[in-house]
Structure 1
Amino acid sequence: MWYVYILRSIEFPDQEYVGATENLKRRIPEHNAGKSSHTAKFKPWKLIWYCAFPDKHKALAFEAYLKSHSGRAFTRKRLC
């Protein structure tokens, strides 16, 4: 399974991050440990939403959509 997830910074609640991974339980602690340059500045993070996909390509396509302008609007209106 592949997961698309949304994190929200605990200290900077306006900051959110969308990502995809095959191992969600491992990936979130990596973000909070500062191992990702994209998220290190706003750690710690909390998981606010995720969705499982049976296929990597579908997960990555949905991640790309959520990072688009219309995907961010969809996230604000429907997911978080």
Structure 2
Amino acid sequence: MKISFVYILECADNTYYTGVTSNLEKRMIEHNTGAHSASYTAKRRPLKLVFFAEFSDINFAIMREKQIKKWSRAKKKALINGRFENLPNLAKKYFT
């Protein structure tokens, strides 16, 4: 069974980056060295790993990454801070 990770980085410009990988240590090195110069994080260093979760199924990890990417900053921050009880109330709501 291969473990996959969903992770959130806090960038130097105070934005969050969410990604998925099967090798978190290697991916962090790539992010922090700017190995992919055209990537979102390359010009937003230094980066800080603020959250990660392990998954035994890569498909579920990818699904969770896509879900988190759609979340508001407040909802991501609640996840990072372990305030799981706040997550349902922080869903984006659009009022007309």
- TM-score under structure 1 normalisation? 0.85
Q: How far has the Cα of 1:77 moved from its partner?
A: 2.4
**Could you report, residue by residue, the CA deviation over 1:7-48 in whole angstroms, capped at 9, with x for unpaired residues?**
112x32x21110000000100010011123121010111111
More strand by share: 1
Cα root mean square deviation, aligned: 1.5
Structure 1: give runs of 5+ residues left out of the alignment. none
**Among the aligned pairs, what percent are the same residue?**
38
Q: How far has the Cα of 1:69 moved from its partner?
A: 3.4
Query: Which amino acid letter does the alignment assign opposite residue 79 of structure 2?
Result: R
More helix by share: 1
Structure 2: give runs of 5+ residues left out of the alignment. 82-96
Q: How far has the Cα of 1:73 moved from its partner?
A: 4.3
Separation (CA, whole Å) in 2 of partners of 1:57 and 1:73: 26
**Structure 1 residue ranges (4+ consecutive) displaced by more than 4 angstroms after TM superposition:** none
Larger Rg: 2
Q: How many residues align?
A: 77
- TM-score under structure 2 normalisation? 0.72
Query: Which amino acid letter does the alignment assign opposite residue 64 of structure 1?
Result: K
Separation (CA, whole Å) in 2 of partners of 1:49 and 1:77: 11
